[in-house]
Copies of this chain bind each other. A is one copy, B any other.
Amino acid sequence: MALADESAGHRFDGRARVVIEDVTPRVDAGEFPVKRVVGDLVTVEADVFADGHDAVTAVVLHEHEDAAEWSEAAMRPLVNDRWTAEFTVEEIGTHLFTIEAWIDPFTTWQRDLRKRVSAGQDVSVALQVGAELIRDAAEHASGEHRDRLRAFRDRLPSGGSTLSIAEDAELTRLMFRHAPRRFATRLDRELKITVDRPKAGFSAWYEMFPRSAANDERHGTLRDVEARLPYVASMGFDVLYLPPIHPIGNAFRKGRNNATDAAAEDVGSPWGIGSSEGGHTAIHPRLGTMEDFRSLRDAAQRRGIELAMDIAFQTSPDHPYVREHPEWFRHRPDGSIQYAENPPKKYQDIYPFDFESDAWRSLWEELKHVFEFWANEGVRIFRVDNPHTKPFPFWQWVIGELKREYADAIFLAEAFTRPKVMQRLAKIGFTQSYTYFAWRDTKYELIKYFSELTRSELREYFRPNLWPNTPDILPASLQYGGRPAFMARLVLAATLSGNYGIYGPPFEHGWSAPREPGSEEYLNSEKYEVHHHDIDRPDSLHDFIARVNKVRKETPSIAHAGTLEFHNVDNDQLLCYSRVSPDHSDVLLVVVNLDYWHTQSGWVEFPIERLELPSNRPYQMHDLLSDARYLWHGNRNYVELDPSSSPAHLFRLRRRARSERDFEYFL
């Protein structure tokens, strides 16, 4: 390297002595954005240091990508050359941040002057050095600031209270502002933050099949769904997710229980999209019209419920695309179109798109258009079906494009596959992700999985959306655990993550029969037939669900991965964890009995000293499920859960009044 080199667009200056390393938060060394929601505090940390003994000053520079200039947050040292600063993100969209740091001659001078004065040394030359630094800064200031700096400079060498002038707070502030930042090091990249609206981090989903929404023995319609909105709202859900509402193909249509031969009256799977009646932008005639859709959308909105659209990029053999765009499909040597298969299994009712097609660009554009069509109809939440079977570059592109136009869009990745694949989808732009929650049953499994999700880099970009059941997944716990299992799994889903959902009414009604033993498919699954649900069934979990969702809404810290902490219980069937607000004012302690058949008891270890609770006084735990109140003392307290009454406690900590004179209990 020649020393006069130009590199990276600017002249190399060997005097930039400060090093900035290991910045957090970031994902894959900054290749992908971290995720936050509006109002979040972003805490930045980095190793910042230089050679020698000079003092270093560092700032975080941050801005919304549309902003005209950087805002600045001064960093402060922690230990071991680690520095930190924080700022709040107030606006949806992409925010950028970076770090700048430099050797600070003025703070170095202040620090050294203090030592020289303490040691009783002659500081006359040191004062001249300081005066030069202040003069230099004054030349970079103007107006009143310049005058003030000059005044400080003039007062400096006059002796007397040297240190009190040198360390004057106003002088320090003015010097930080105006002293030239010579040979500053700027981090070589700008790190990105995707800032979403709050619902990206805190949402309660309800999934239902529109065709099963009728109150009588009809094929349900979107109008029936509209009529069911009060029911959904009364349980406290704020996202209503509908499986595909498009026309369903006839070729190779699946019958009840996934039978290969459909009967004439069989309605087919909603994911077999497309017929002569239209494709991904059409509505199934038996469900209604676009007007019905808009009416549903508006009625939902009035109840604080947002519609989530299912985006399933595949077609039935009858889809208009097959005729109009054969180039988007793979053709077999015998001339037929390649149907979906996972050898030896064949899915002849489904054609996958061929993303290796020479016409991939027009395919991408068309698929983007599908999103745009529904976005123009007011949809901002998309539950994407099997994204892991379409190329990552496509998702990265299409989500990036759509978010430019619809910054408030939310994309949920329905990928149940290998961990690295699911993580990649979250990195490249999906807002929320399905998880392995349905298969994490034991205390060991739950602690391990949720520690990984909330304690590793995953917490920066992977937002779990937990589902105790889906139309594809009736997990073993719900097949065998009875009502306590449904209650426990609901509490877990609703409090282990800011985002969760259930598939109802089968959930409220405790559907537990699998298609066959060992299967996770529902018997007589709604995927292949119309059902009719009596939503007023007395055994419905409706009220319990409503209560849990109410607790969620009163516990904002559930939205934040960092507040999840597991606590020891001396019983492997009892899981305990807390959600604590940053100011410790709100504490939710969850205890769940994972044994759905027997009463279990144990001692919970809950470190109250961190909550500034006095160790010598009782405090009250208010179970929001049973409304019972318990007086607890110290760090170890007894719990006992009989699953036949309730498999969980949702304790809210009730503090007594903080006044020293208040000796009454707070019952």
Contact = CB atoms under 8 A, between A and B. Distances in A.
A334 B14 contact: no
Interface string A344-377: 1000000000011000110011000000000000
Given A51-B392, A81-B418, A81-B421, A125 B333 contact: yes
A28 B418 CA distance: 26
A68 interface: no
A343 interface: yes
A158 interface: no
A67 to B, nearest CB: 22
Interface string A105-130: 00000001001101101000100110
Given A16-B393, A28-B21, A3 B116 contact: no
For A17, A112, A343, the residue with the greatest tally of chain B CB atoms inside 10 Å of its CB is A343
Nearest to A357: B15
A361 B14 contact: yes
A132 interface: yes
A298 interface: no
A119 B51 contact: no
Interface size for chain A: under 10, 10 to 19, 20 to 34, or 35 or more residues?
35 or more
A183 B344 contact: no
Contacts of A125: 332-334
Contact of A334 (B121, B128, B365): B128
A1 interface: yes
A78 to B, nearest CB: 12
A424 interface: yes
Contacts of A333: 125, 128-129, 132
Nearest to A188: B31
Contact of A14 (B49, B80, B332, B397): B397
B53 A342 contact: yes
A361 B13 CA distance: 9
A4 interface: yes
A517 interface: no
A106 to B, nearest CB: 15
B129 A391 contact: no
A261 interface: no
Interface in A1-41: 1, 3-4, 14-17, 19, 21-22, 28-29
Interface string A428-446: 0000000000000000000
A662 to B, nearest CB: 47
A388 interface: yes
Interface string A556-570: 000000000000000
B344 A49 contact: no
B343 A116 contact: yes
A400 interface: yes
Contacts of A538: none
Given A420-B80, A421-B81, A424-B21, A14 B364 contact: yes
Contacts of A392: 17, 19, 51
A342 B360 CA distance: 66
A553 interface: no
A390 interface: yes
Interface string A410-435: 00000000111100100000000000
Interface in A36-55: 47, 49-53
A376 to B, nearest CB: 21
Contacts of A571: none
Contacts of A343: 112, 115-116, 119, 121
Nearest to A53: B342
Nearest to A113: B343
Contacts of A615: none
A394 B4 CA distance: 14
A15 B356 contact: yes
B361 A17 contact: no
Contacts of A183: 356
A401 interface: yes
B80 A418 contact: yes
B390 A424 contact: no
List of 8 A-B pairs having minimum Cβ-Cβ separation, nearest first: A119-B344, A29-B29, A128-B333, A112-B343, A115-B343, A17-B391, A81-B420, A3-B361
Interface of A: 1, 3-4, 14-17, 19, 21-22, 28-29, 47, 49-53, 80-81, 103, 112, 115-116, 118-119, 121, 125, 128-129, 132, 182-183, 332-334, 342-344, 355-356, 360-361, 364-365, 388-394, 397, 400-401, 418-421, 424
5 contacts: A17-B356, A52-B388, A81-B418, A125-B332, A183-B356
